[in-house]
Structure 1
Amino acid sequence: MGTAWNNEYRAMPATAADFTAEDMFVAECLAAAAQGDCSAYFDLGVAFSTGSHGATCDLIEAHKWFNLAAVAGFEEANTCRSEVADDMTAREISEAQRRAREWLAASNRKAA
């Protein structure tokens, strides 16, 4: 997990109580995504594209997750990926695609 800071500013191991329900949503989606859940891919895309559920707004990550959802057959992801791409540079889109390929390659290695 992460690290929580106490009143004396010493690092303490983070506990579940240190995280909000929004933080847990992203963590749960990441766990489901690791199992290949395409709806979790889509939910992560939404969270990163809107900066909701404890995620920061990150269009590269949003594009990556929408791309993975689209590849997995989640129909609405294509539209969302295109909308996010409208606000991105070519370099950012390239980075998002690279991250999506890395995720797929890592997933394929785990499955083998």
Structure 2
Amino acid sequence: MARFDLQTVETGDAGGSAQTDILFEMGIMYATGRDCAIDLVAAHKWFNIAAIKGCDRAAELRAELGKTMSKIDLATALREAREWMTAH
């Protein structure tokens, strides 16, 4: 499982827009299990969406997380991100 330095994450600007910051925080929430169970598929999905919206830190964490995931989980996360982007 990927490890994230929450102190570093929480002190920096995640993206730029409020929406991007919220999407990035969703990724952090699922990656670390903050107020929920750890869900790496959901974390990758939200990091991917935040990265598409311009968050460089989300792109870095998405890449780090992707290295630890199975091909099936990675494909699921990518599909879910694509479906979310299509719907929103």
Task: Give the shorter-chain TM-score range.
Answer: 0.7 to 0.9
Among 21, 27, 36, the alignment partner of 1:45 is 27
Whole-Å Cα distance in 2 between the matches of residues 40 and 55 of structure 1? 16
Whole-Å Cα distance in 2 between the matches of residues 103 and 55 of structure 1? 20
- Report sequence identity in percent: 37
Structure showing greater radius of gyration is 1
TM-score normalised to structure 2 length: 0.77
Residue-pair matches, total: 71
Amino acid in structure 1 at the alignment position of 2:24 = F
Cα offset for 1:84?
A: 1.0
Q: Which has the higher strand share?
A: 1
User: RMSD of the TM alignment (CA)?
Assistant: 1.1
Cα deviation 1:60-95 (Å, max 9, x = unaligned) = 000000000000001101110011112100111100
Provide the residue aligned with 1:96 in structure 2. Answer: 77
Show structure 1 runs of 5+ residues with no match. Answer: 1-35, 108-112
Q: Which structure has more RCO (C-alpha within 8 Å, separation ≥ 6)?
A: 2
TM-score normalised to structure 1 length: 0.61
Whole-Å Cα distance in 1 between the matches of residues 39 and 30 of structure 2? 5
Provide the residue aligned with 1:79 in structure 2. Answer: 60
Provide the residue aligned with 2:48 in structure 1. Answer: 67
